[in-house]
Amino acid sequence: MYNPQLPMDGTPVNNPPALNAGAFSRSAERNSNERIKQLLKSFGLRTSLIRLKVIDALLTAAQSERSLGVRGIHSQLLELDIPLSFLSVREVLKRLCSEGVLTLNADKSYSLHQQAAAVLDGLS
């Protein structure tokens, strides 16, 4: 396919350094995603982008000792430019709770179930 931004003389295109600046953060994110993928697999669940992002948001909040409800998770994902609907986030949270990956706390916040936390600790 024709791209007017590519040279026509057959010389290779060198990507500017700005495009490769986040390589280290992407590899760290990939490692985190691999752990979450293994967690989902151990519970017999398929991996989906929304499940990865929701669990990652909960893990990030737990590291900073915060608790998040549906609205908190949804707004955190929107801040990261991940355009997911509120209903999608809520349905994923309900499914992960029913499968035993997450726990709905008394204050309507979500956290990783003890068994899921043990699985993640074993993957570290």
Q: Which of 12-26, 56-70, 89-103 has the lowest mean pLDDT?
A: 12-26
pLDDT of residue 123: 74
- On whether residue 91 sits in a domain, the answer given is yes
The whole domain housing 77 covers: 27-119
- Decide if pLDDT at 82 tops 70: yes
- Decide if pLDDT at 17 tops 50: no
- On whether residue 32 sits in a domain, the answer given is yes
Prediction pTM value: 0.72
For range 45-64, the mean pLDDT: 93
- On whether residue 6 sits in a domain, the answer given is no
Query: Are the beta carbons of 26 and 32 closer than 8 angstroms?
Result: no
- Decide if pLDDT at 120 tops 60: yes
For range 52-61, the mean pLDDT: 94
Angstrom distances, CA of residue 27 to CA of 5, 20, 64, 102: 28, 12, 21, 26
- Our count of domains for the chain comes to 1
CATH code of the domain containing 53: 1.10.10.10
- On whether residue 2 sits in a domain, the answer given is no
- On whether residue 10 sits in a domain, the answer given is no
- On whether residue 15 sits in a domain, the answer given is no
- Per DSSP bridges, beta strands 110-112 and 102-104 are antiparallel
For range 91-113, the mean pLDDT: 95
- Decide if pLDDT at 15 tops 90: no
